[in-house]
Every structure is written in C-alpha cells, then in structure tokens.
Amino acid sequence: MAKLSIITINYNDKKGLKKTLESVVSQTYDEYEFIVIDGGSTDGSKDLILEYADKISYWVSENDNGVFHAMNKGIKVATGDFVIFMNGGDTFYSEATLSQVVPELNSQFDIYYGDNYKESGNSKRLKTYPEHLQFSFFYTSSLNHQSTFIRKSLFEEHFYYNEEYKIASDWEFFAYVICHKNVPYKYLKKTISVYDFNGISSNPKFSEVFHKEKSQSIQKYFPTFIKDYENVNELNSKRFIQFQYIKKYSFSWKVLKLILSIMLLFLPKISNEMKKE
C-alpha cells in the first residue's frame, strides 16, 4: 500500500489549524506521515502544534516566503509516495476518508482527485469535477489540492510550486503535468475534503492577480492557447454573464435588443474582417 504524507501549512490561524489538526488525527486510517509547516506564527499556533506533537511526524515554526514556499518546504521533507495538502482550516470530509481512499492509491496513476465542499461562513457548497480533464477545464477551473493526492516524484521530475506566484502556482502545476506531460490521473468519485473558502485564492479582490499569473503560465507552457484563454476569459466576464442572464427573460431580452439595434445605427458597420474573427 502506498505511503501518504499529509502536509499542513499555517500562519497565524490558530483556530483554523486546530480544526485541521483534529480532522487529521481523528482519521480511522492512521498509517500516514503528518507534516506541519508553520510560518513563525505569533498567535499561539506553535503552542497548539506542541500539544499535538506526538501525532505529528515533522513540524517547524519559522519565517518563510509565503504559501508556496511553505508548501515546497513540506514536499521536500515528505517521505510518502503521495502528498496531500490539508492547510489551516481545511478538513477531511469524514473520519473514514483516508480509509476509503488510501487503498486505491497505487502505481497506475500519478494524481488522484475527488470532490470537495467549499465552506464560507454558513455557506457550504459541493464542488464536483469531471472524470476526464482537458485543457478547456483549466481555462476556468483547477483541481483543489485539499482533495488531490499527488505522487511526490512529480515535483522532483518536473518542478516545485512557483514561489514567485501568490495564487496560481498549484494551477500551473496541475495544468502542466496533466495537459503538457500527460501524467496518468484518476477521478475518485467521492468527496475528500471540506475546503476553507476564506483564503487568499478565493478572495475576489485577488482575481486580477490570479488571471495575470495564469496568463504568464500559459505564455510559458501553452503559448498556442493564449488567444483561446483571452476569449474564454471574456466570455466569463461579469458583463457577459449579465447579458446571458437577461436573455432568459423574453421581455427584457427584447428591450435590450432594441436598445442595441438603436446604438448600432450610430456606429460604423462591422467589417468583413471583424465578422471572420
């Protein structure tokens, strides 16, 4: 049976860390390696880690250079065949999650992924994933590391998380190894985790940073898809979504079409070149 390393990173989130620690140690399957990378927290997180020290295989509390630097530190000390990141505030879906999943991890696939619940305040929403991953999936989405078991050797064979990025490093890694290197993967068809949807990557104000970093990754690894990505991004813009919403209501749609028709009377005619585009 494959050996699993669970990696938890934390910085000044004692409440979230406690939630994660309790979830990990309460798993009915306990033959895992548990690694905690704390970024030198000053909120009592280190004391909490010491309380659970007998359940933790390796831990450190020291300054780091951000989320992905901390995640890379965890990967480099991990000795498992597979790693999963369960960061502060994240939990496994149930106490039996690992008992159900670990027996499925073998040499046939390099990435195993499942579903997760996104939790924010009193809201809890199930996020499901397709069984087959195409590059079009990565235009608008990604796998969540809280619900993905990654063969550790992939990081050594390809690259570790890009520490220059704030948000899109795991997106870059998954898109690269799955779509560029065609590593074998498997959809587990079960819920793996409850994802704390209050972090930096889920904050709308960082969406511009995320888009910029994704664009840089596409330029680096998938340059022929740049135009497609820009088109998809435009189709997912707030204005286009509003446009599609209005289209559902016949009266509002007729009014909008009338307004657009009037506006077009005062604009230059569309050229043949633009029609072709």
Q: Which domains does the chain have, with CATH numbers?
A: 4-206 (3.90.550.10), 239-276 (no CATH)
- pLDDT in the model for residue 205: 67
pTM above 0.75, yes or no: yes
Residue 233: Cβ within 10 Å count: 15
Could you tell me the pLDDT band of residue 121, with boundaries at 50, 70 and 90?
A: confident
Q: Which helix or strand (DSSP H or E) is residue 175 part of?
A: helix 169-175
- pLDDT in the model for residue 260: 65
Q: What percent of the chain has pLDDT over 90?
A: 65
Helix axes 207-221, 226-235, angle to 10 degrees: 160
Give 82: exposed, middle or buried? Use CB within 10 Å, 0-12, 13-18, 19+: buried
Q: Kindly report, residue by residue over 222-255, the tens digit of the pLDDT.
A: 887 666 555 555 545 445 455 556 666 777 767 7
Beta strand 185-196 pairing with 111-120: parallel
